[in-house]
Each structure stands twice: as structure tokens, then as C-alpha cells.
Amino acid sequence: MGVHPKTIATLDDKRAIEAAPLEAQWDAPNLYAMLTATARAHGDRPAVSFQLKSGPKDKATTLDWASFAAAVTRAANLFRSLGVAKGETIALLLPNLPETAVALVGAMTAGVAAPINPLLSPEQIASILRETGAKALVTLAPFPKTDLSAKAAYAARNAPDCRTVLEIDMAPHLSPPLKWIAPLLAPTRVRAGVAKVLPWADTLARQRGDALDFDDTPGPDDVCGYFHTGGTTGHPKVATHTQRGALYNGWLVRRLLLGPSDTVLCPLPLFHVLAAYPMLTACLASGSQFVMPTPAGYRGEGVIDNFWKLVARWRATFVCTVPTAVAALMQRPVNADVSSLAYALCGSAPMPTELFRRFEEATGVKILEGYGQTETTCLISCNPPEGARKIGSVGLPMPYTQIRIVDFDGDAPRACGVDEIGEICVASPGATPGYLDKALNGALFARAGEVRTGDLGRIDADGYVWITGRAKDLIIRSGHNIDPAVIEDALMAHPDVALVGAVGQPDAYAGELPCAYVELCAGATVTADALKAFAAEHVPERAARPAHVEIVDALPKTVVGKIFKPDLRARALERVYAEALAAAGVEATVTAEDDRTLGVVATVRAAPGTDAAAIAETLDAYPRPWRMADA
């Protein structure tokens, strides 16, 4: 296993690493230089592996580091041959494939990569192409069960700067009996209005792979990525990333965890910062193997069912996961040898303590919960591999990352004390220079180089970071950001509705589910069930449709007339926990209120003689904290 003999256990270890200048930690000016150094050192070792189907014996393909570096070199040369200049954008509308990893690093070498979530609507994709000024788009050729080629064609037609579409053919990843499908798909290509459509593999093969054809390679401060935030609802914001931030994220995971003998099983999408930067670039920095099971990762057919067998197949030492995936995995038996695993790296949303317990008991593998954002090129903090893991916290700040908790509610920003809740602000080498839309940057920074995360939290006496809420009011369902305004606007369209407040209610599987509280117009008689059906019809994103709609006499409001959402979150917490206890046969009442160190917390008053273990077994499955009332 690749754990370093001396890694971070305490804040003193972090400070010891920081005693050396950041520039002394690596000598590569960009990701391409880091890749070529790894290819020289570990050229014949496996680099990137992929299997189209999820079975433990299904066909798989692997590129070694020498081959991967050569392919990235060809990709960078290809993009330049298409007229993409340094600083210009190549968009990637792709599922997880070896070609996706090649195109991503190649685009960051020749210009700026803009990975786009394939689940976005064609209109949203076109909007991102226009905002980033993408000159080329890499996507799939037509293939069964996906409309990505048609989405790409629509988006490219509606993005005037996008001159070329490069199509990746899936046929090489098919088992031999299925290759006959590919030729039948050629007539279905949607090309009308697209300036130029080229086959990826053939066009790539004509480029040289031994050296770059250009000298103006990027430096540490050059922009290498445009990653959009959220994106399941509303208009995504596009954050800029630099080579330094990408190198920093890769170096961090290599320094703390990975070596060339390690294998990372990563079923997370490469259009997301967690997979693209800490995971892929850490393998690029260390020579570890990066394994992608199916194009859709955890959403791929059979991946959850076969997950432990995939761990055994690849002898994975690390898996990258999220709480919802862990919850699904715990509904399946651990039916394979997982003794190769050192850690499960978990992010995207808070992990319920009960999930920690179940996972570690079932697998014997420790979870390292971390915290990151698109606006910081991902990594901010993590529970230390060799130190105390405080379950429920997101650990210690990463080396060279400084975290402040700031109260912005007064006349001037004020730094908070130990265990005092405020907004989490982050200064690090990965901090974004800003959003591509500069009009959005006014609220992004607390001060120069320090990002306001929008998350509420505290730092305890040992330096551990705890997230207690979200200043942004976003609802995070299974790692997807949902803007409450999307729900509120849809319900406000109903003629009987006067006001709406949408918040997240705790959920044992998804972390949060959207719910809505509605104040009706005078004399209205519409029911909550009717409003829920109305929302299901009018909220465009399925994940944003409220799981619960409740009619109230009056919504809580501030003195200036704004809806006071902390009261709604407390109300939702009381309802969800009371229903869960009742379903478990526990007689108790639940109240919720703000706590100085925990945020909104539930207090349980149980009937005399109630088994406290039954309460814990029920409520520990949820992400929000609870406590027993004093006797």
C-alpha cells in the first residue's frame, strides 16, 4: 500500500510540511511536465484502465504510462492543429472513458479544458460553450442508449465559436460480438450546421506522440480548466482553475497517500473536480493506476452490485466514493476479497455516522472524509490518514491551505473564535482566480485570494473543521446542488400560492431532499397533495421536485420581510426525525433549534423506559445531529 511512513496526523505535521516553500514540493511547471516525468519513471506500469460493462470478467482496456503520455501528446498536438491557441478552450462532453482522460490532460496542455456534465440539457450545454468561448468540442459518436451526439450537435450549432466537433467511437471498447453495431450507427450522425466533424481516433493517430509541436506550454499561473459548478438546475457558474491549483491537488494526494504500486477505483465522473484533480492528477503525479468502471461510474448498470468484485479484480488500494454510493453499497453483501483496500476516500456531502459504522464494520476499511469545492480546485481539508478521525468533521486543513471562520453579519467581517460558527473562508494554492463571468466575483472573495465557500462551520480546539450548514441556502441531494429558487418559482406559478420557502430536509440516503413550505392566498383551498403534484409537473429537474410539501398559516420572516429559512429547516428536521422514530416504534417528541457549535440540532424527549439504543440506531442514519433531553 502507498501510505507514506510519515504523513499528516496532527496540525504540527501540516506545519512541518509548510516549513518548505510550496515551490520546493514539485518542479513541474504544468501537468504535462509532471506526466512526462511519471512516464519516464514508470512507463511500463498501468496508468488508466476502463471497462465498458461492470462484470468482474468483462472486457477491460489498460494504457500504461508511456502510452498514456504519448496519447496526451497527440491530443495536445491535435488541438493546436485545429487552430486552438494557448488560452483558448476545448470543451469535453463525455462520460468516463480512457479517451476522456487523454482529452482532458491534452486540452489542459494545448489550451483550457472545459468538461461539461453530459446530463445537462442541450440549452445549458450550448450556454457553457458560448460562455467559455470553446473552439472545439470532444464528444461521443452515436451509440445505443445515449443521445449525447445529438445534444453535442445542437449545442455546437448554437455556439458560434465552436468550429470543430471530434467524435469518439465506442466500438474499440465493445466485445468482439458487438462490433457489428458501430457501422449501423454512421447514418444517424447529426451534423447539420456544425462546421467540421472529425473522428477522434483517426485524427489523433495522424499526430506525433513523441514530442509537442509547440513551445508555448503553460506556466503555473496559466488557466488550465473551466469547471462549472452544480449544473443540475439553473445556470451553472464557471470557475477558472490554474496549472498551480491542478498540480497542488495532485501533489497533495501523492504526498499523503499514493505511490506507484497503488490502484484507485474511481467511479466518479471526470467532469467533476473530485475525479479530475485530486484523483486523476494524483495518479498522474505518483504513477498509480486509475480505474474507471463503466462510462457512467456508480450510475452504470451493475456497478453497485459488482462493486466489491471490481475491487478484487483490480486489487484496488483506494476507492473514491460519496455517501449515497456508500448507502447503496451497504445494502449489498461484501462478496469478494477486499483486503487490498487501504482507505475509502469520501466527499461531496456529509456522511451520517451510522454509515461510517456500517461501512467500516462490513469491510474493515477506514473512510477518510474530506471537503472541497469547485472554487478551490477541490481539496480543502481531510481527516488525517494517520491521526484522529473525528467522525462528522471534515478533518484538518490541507498543507498550504488556511481556513478562517468569519462572521459577516455585523458592520464589518469578524474572525470567529474556537467552536464559533461562521462562514468558512479558504486561502490555498487551489483558490480560483474567479468565475469566468466576472460580475459574479464580488461575493466570491472575503479578501484577496480567500474564497468564501458559502458553507457555515466551525473549527474546534484541535484544528478540525466541522460543517454546520450552508449560507448559500443550496439543497444538496446526493452531491447535486439544487437552487431552492427553482422550486419556489415553480410553486409560485400556482394561483393559490402566496409565498414559498424551499429547504433541504435530512435524508438517510441522499443527505438532503428538497421540501417546500407554502403560504396560501386568502380563501384558497388547494391541498398539499395537489401542490406536490403541481410541483412534479412544473419543476424541470427531477432531483429538485420536492419530496414533501406542507401548507402553513404564515411563513417565518425576518424584520425586512425575507423568509427566515433556519426556522423552516428546524421544522423539517423535527418532522423527519419524529416520523422516523414513530416508524421504529419509539414513543418520543422531537424539537429542533440552533446550537452554537452544531448548527440546527434535534432534541429528543422519549417516554419513560424507552431504549436509548433504539433511538440511536434510528437517528444515527441521518446527517443532522441530535441529542437526548435532560431528564
pLDDT in tens, 60-76: 999 999 999 999 999 99
pLDDT for position 261? 95
Side chain identity, residue 101 = A
Q: Residue 17's pLDDT is what?
A: 94
pLDDT at 182 (0 to 100):
53
Question: Is residue 545 predicted with pLDDT exceeding 50?
Answer: yes
Q: What is the mean pLDDT of the chain?
A: 90
Query: Greater confidence, 474 or 402?
Result: 402
Q: What percentage of the chain carries pLDDT values higher than 70?
A: 93
As a whole number, mean pLDDT of residues 35-55 equals: 97
Contact (Cβ atoms closer than 8 angstroms) between residue 467 and residue 496: no
Listed ranges 129-133, 191-195, 355-359, 604-608; the one with the highest mean pLDDT: 129-133
Q: What is the pLDDT of residues 114-124, one digit of tens each?
A: 999 998 889 98
> What per-residue confidence (pLDDT) applies to 560?
46
Mean pLDDT, range 337-352, rounded to an integer: 85
**How far apart, in Å, are the Cα atoms of 110 and each of 77, 87, 89, 133, 464?**
7, 8, 9, 15, 39
| Termini Cα distance of the chain | 49
Report whether pLDDT(90) > 60. Answer: yes
Whether the pLDDT of residue 597 is over 70: the answer is no
Q: Is the pLDDT of residue 33 over 80?
A: yes
Residue 128 has pLDDT above 80, yes or no: yes
Cα(220)–Cα(265) distance, integer angstroms: 29
Which of 136, 153, 126 lies closest to 76, judged by CA? 136
Give every CB contact of residue 406 below 8 A, 6+ residues apart in sequence: 413, 414, 415, 416, 422, 423, 425, 446, 452
pLDDT digits (tens, 9 = 90+) for 216-225: 999 999 999 9
Task: Say which CATH topology domain 475-563 has.
Answer: GMP Synthetase; Chain A, domain 3 (3.30.300)
Q: What is the pLDDT of residue 191?
A: 56
Give residue-wise pLDDT tens across range 403-416: 999 999 888 999 99
Grid cell locating 266: 474511481
State which fold the 11-447 domain adopts.
Rossmann fold (3.40.50)
d(CA 264, CA 315): 9
pLDDT value at position 186? 47
Q: What is the pLDDT of residues 310-333, one digit of tens each?
A: 999 999 999 999 877 887 898 889
**CA–CA dist 609, 511 (Å, integer):** 31
Q: Provide the edge-to-edge strand list for the sheet that holds 263-265.
A: 61-64, 46-51, 289-293, 263-265, 318-321, 343-346, 366-373, 378-382, 396-397
Q: Where are the alpha helices (DSSP H) in 364-419?
A: none
Residue 193 pLDDT exceeds 70: no
pLDDT value at residue 478 = 84
Nearest to 290 by CA among 129, 97, 151: 97
Q: Mind spelling out the 3-state secondary structure of 70-116? A: HHHHHHHHHHHHCCCCCCCEEEECCCCCHHHHHHHHHHHHHCEEEEC
Using one digit for the tens of pLDDT, what is the confidence trace for 228-258? Answer: 986 433 467 899 999 999 999 999 999 999 9
Question: What's the pLDDT at 278?
Answer: 92
Residue 366, amino acid: K
- Tell me the pLDDT band of 389, cut-offs 50, 70 and 90: confident
pLDDT at 404: 98
Q: Is 163 or 355 the better-scoring residue by pLDDT? A: 163
State the average pLDDT over residues 420-446.
95
Residue appearing with cell numbers 488556511? 402
pLDDT above 70 for 5? no
Q: Tens of pLDDT along 274-299?
A: 999 999 999 999 999 999 999 999 98
- Work out the average pLDDT over 44-51: 98
- What SS3 state is found at 68? helix
Write out the three cell numbers for 208. 506525433
Nearest to 205 by CA among 104, 94, 71, 28: 71
Out of 205-209, 345-349, 523-527, least confident range: 345-349
The C-alpha atoms of residue 526 and residue 214 are separated, in whole angstroms, by 66
Q: What is the pTM of this model?
A: 0.81
* pLDDT mean over 40-49: 98
pLDDT: is 362 or 472 the higher one? 362
